[in-house]
Structure 1
């Protein structure tokens, strides 16, 4: 028997003449391999007491199946049986028929191919054995048997793809960069082209020729991974639709198998033997945040490079170039491919995708997926503990669990403030107090050997999985830090931090408010007790948020003295929690508070128009390694719905407040004077996203929508869709879409962008605004 190992690129279940077949493509050190497992079965679970009814329903539907009693229970402690099927068609037909008959099914929404990999704990890397056959560009293993190989790390070849087309999806060109390719396939008559440009243009007479050449090049250069920007929702969707319209099959899969695109709540692209990874989705998976995820914005932010067309109406310019200047369009098309490649390389996005798969078992291209990752990691363990997963909502509980602890702040300007942060507070609570779906059911069944939770929850001291999983992830993360592997550390952090969110999500089959409230309310208890202990040491807690405690220290202390107090308090709190949890619960504490930050100075504002402190808003000068940096939280410098004028003014305002408050009056006068003279006109643009479609705005129409509707009266063809950004300004003629040159209403900008920020700090620098107008500014 042949034995090798590789990394999963694609996996699919198919109905064949031999029954249900699992086809899994791997990339290996010896080239791509297709593994084929025939005569497989798909299954879901039913309550054993429903067996007779299920038999009657499925026999009436002429479904081929068999039922087997199992040593498994559901969370209601009822015995379970499995229904097995030898084809996907029978599996889905049976699921539909039984649901229509009112039968409760368990785990019928898990795709059979996902279950196959999940139950074998295959997370990318796999050993495979079977009957081996060599073909020209790949191998096949029949009668394949797979098992996990957690040590396998793939070397993946990648190709960047980008298309250009008109508004109807009619293709102009396809750019391909990577895997030995650097070319543009372009429709049109051949034109002379300077070879020194470093790439080639391949001319085609029409779309059919273009698509056929595209298939040839993909087959010849044989990438493992195809990357792009919105490549799934746009590029491959357009390619697939154009091929369908032209009667072509895009056989770009390995083994000359065709591309398949399925649209629903999201678009899924399947290419046998290859994987498609979208840059936007991967950035979001890695928790990157941008004001806009457009390629133009991200490449400018990350690379400092721009697209070759930066027009507000790029489509119009693309069409013009295709008709009048095809060489410029080719350069633009290629530049997009190159920018995507550079972003992937600089941020190591492909490495991140591989690591995420190795940790969770999610497909490389999976969008989002925190719930799916949890299921992948948890469900096989649950089965081995004798349970099947519950259906969503079957706990019968409807109350909502509270959010994290947030203390009302004590507003003011402080000289020295230290911050103590609990390290991974929610995961450490779950680990310490055994908070776990299985633990909840076992704890309720055996309350004498359980840990008390909240809302009548009890958690087994012996039967649980999440505490062990969290411990394993924490150890892996520490090793990643020790080996200076920030990508692995970040991937593990994302997974650990998602565990609470998953248990608190109604989109997860394990949702139960007793689980989430036992985490958050325990967090409230921990934060309040920590505050009490700190105050007993003689220090004042001025703010607290979820896992962070802000402590005021005496003004005369040096930075070194502040740091020493921070370390002392962290040690004291950690020791206290070890003792408290042992004495109260007879448990081992996994809570760890760290001295994280020293701010000097530090500012907590009031709620606008009130005297009480606001929440989740502050600014401080962070002191770290003898360097200083202004940190803003929840204020205008970090909010995209304020203008750049407000962001710049706020930064300058706090710089002076912390260093030279006596000069704030000069700063404000200069800003107002420069504003009125028009020197800040380039900073006056507001940017706000459409929360719904334009037609849905009927009452209380906000300014950004007013601007769009006003523009549409003179430009009837112009439109924007839900989720797109609107750039607008306030002018003497009212609110308008930003067009470059306007007669700005400076009074509105004074009232909306300058005065609120100055008011926030005026009482702390002995200044008051008496009157501000376009012609007068007095400070008293």
Structure 2
């Protein structure tokens, strides 16, 4: 139990003003030697994101002698130009590489002293690395002690100390005054733990919803999709969602307080009501895929809008025609409008050349085009036909293969776009209304043979 007297006056002052981090100060400043004084100022919460400096480090050691052979550091952040420095025990000159500098030292002791001096010179706020506490920093401390050196990596002039775990030698703790140490392994464990706990919460929430007689068509990661079977008005559906929200939040609050004696900061929120909804199942399963769905929602004015998530209409690696085709097809099916004639007409116009400008692909070139040897993707084949290549390439598929969109000298391969763009888009939803793309255009295709 916490009493009012247990709370420090300064903490209470900040809490009552909802100041949990940075704050702004309004008042008359009085400059003193080394600090500024305010008398009865006005404090309010303020947004602030510090500009931090980060140093990522990695060491290499001699397996037999434990001697440090090299220390690599990558520094970046506020006031620093991103660069990598490698401290290495060697008498041979090593020329610098691109954004990489080598510093040679004749002896391990010289290397350790130079590295610590460099760390204090660049003055990072964060030290990070993979297993940086249990191996890198622990080993540096051990090697410094061999030469009677302190591991001088702190801001306060105090030696850094790496404290081994009491029960687990792989659970050490780094105490470096003025700096924060982030170990990649610990961060990964924390992330996995958070994800696992979140998954458990969603699964339990799913059980609670189904216990009330509702059907959950998808529940994983951070969302639950509930199907209200039967006839519901939009207002009734929204009220049901809000009632579920209140019931679930009450259950979680009571559960966490009862079992863990902790306040509950979990909050499930009713997000939206889809009047019409489409979610394709995952391959080989009858479970829905949260990352891919489409649905109709209405705003406060009663205006309807289709929301797409993860389908071709929101993906840049599909052609503009495919995205427009999908949006129009979904709107027709959701609104109960005829769609067969629309599909046949669009295919015919495509073969007539009416949509050539909308048949372009746009892809990012992520590496040197000459690095592709065995498997050369279409966008790289097109890029190799240009005298100069940027980060993006727009191209068409022609009967002579991929060609840059601005220098096509072959007939466009409309059959490719029919099979690889229009058909997959259409069959995604047509299968659920008893149709298929091939059946709809089967008689029409005789004209294009």
**Cα distance change on mapping 1:93 and 1:725 into 2, 3 Å:** closer
Rounded Cα–Cα distance in structure 2 between residues aligned with 1:581 and 1:104: 52
2:389 aligns to what? 720
1:739 and 2:406 equivalent? yes
CA contact (8 A) 2:253 2:264 kept: yes
Question: Deviations for 1:501-557, whole angstroms, at most 9, x for unmatched residues?
Answer: xx9xx9866843332222111111111111111111111111134221111112410
Q: Which structure is higher in RCO with an 8 Å CA cutoff and minimum separation 6? A: 1
Kindly indicate whether residue 358 of structure 2 is the aligned counterpart of residue 665 of structure 1.
no
Match for 2:428 among 730, 740, 760?
760
1:667 to 1:100, Cα distance in 2 relative to 1, 3 A:
farther
CA distance in 2, matches of 1:665, 1:683: 21
Tell me by how many angstroms 1:705 deviates. Answer: 0.7
State the secondary structure of the residue aligned to 2:275: strand
Partner of residue 634, structure 1: 310
Question: Cα deviations across residues 618-653 of structure 1 (Å, max 9, x unaligned)?
Answer: 111123323322111111111111000000000001
What is the rounded CA distance, in whole Å, between the counterparts of 1:672 and 1:587 in structure 2? Answer: 61
Is the 2:131–2:183 contact (alpha carbons within 8 Å) kept by the matching residues of 1? no
- Asked whether the equivalents of residues 728 and 735 of structure 1 are also in contact (C-alpha less than 8 Å), the reply is yes
Residue in structure 1 matched with residue 250 of structure 2 by the alignment: 575
Among 644, 647, 650, the alignment partner of 2:326 is 650
Distance in 2 between residues matched to 1:738 and 1:719, nearest whole Å = 14
Residue of structure 1 equivalent to 2:216:
541
Kindly report structure 1 stretches of 4+ aligned residues shifted beyond 3 Å: 92-115, 389-392, 394-397, 506-512, 606-615, 769-775
Q: What secondary structure does 1:599 align onto? A: coil
How far has the Cα of 1:575 moved from its partner? 0.9
Question: What is the Cα deviation at residue 700 of structure 1?
Answer: 1.2
Cα distance in 2 for partners of 1:733, 1:671 equals 24
What secondary structure is seen at the aligned counterpart in 1 of 2:278?
strand
After TM superposition, the score normalised by the length of structure 1 is 0.36
Alignment of 1:516-595 (within 5 A): 516-595=191-270
CA contact (8 A) 2:344 2:444 kept: no
* Secondary structure of the structure 2 residue equivalent to 1:616: coil
Q: What secondary structure does 1:729 align onto?
A: strand
5+ residue gaps, structure 2: 1-28, 32-54, 56-101, 136-161, 172-179
Structure-1 residue corresponding to 2:445: 776
Q: Alpha carbons of 1:583 and 1:546: their partners in 2 closer, same or farther (altered >3 Å)?
A: same
Residue correspondence of structure 1 range 144-293 to structure 2 within 5 A: none
Distance 1:395 1:769 in 2: 59
Render the CA deviation track for 1:394-453: whole Å, top value 9, x for unaligned. 3559xxxxxxxxxxxxxxxxxxxxxxxxxxxxxxxxxxxxxxxxxxx99x879xxxxxxx
State the match for 1:422 in structure 2.
none
Decide whether the 8 Å contact of 1:732 with 1:744 is kept in 2: yes
Corresponding residue pairs, total: 312
Kindly tell me: are residues 543 and 591 of structure 1, through their superposed partners in 2, closer, same or farther at Cα, counting changes over 3 Å? same
Distance 1:574 1:94 in 2: 61
Q: How large is the RMSD of aligned CA atoms in angstroms? A: 4.1
Q: Structure 2 CA distance, aligned partners of 1:768 and 1:110? A: 68
Segments of 5+ residues of structure 1 without an aligned counterpart are: 6-43, 45-91, 116-374, 376-388, 398-440, 447-455, 458-502, 713-717
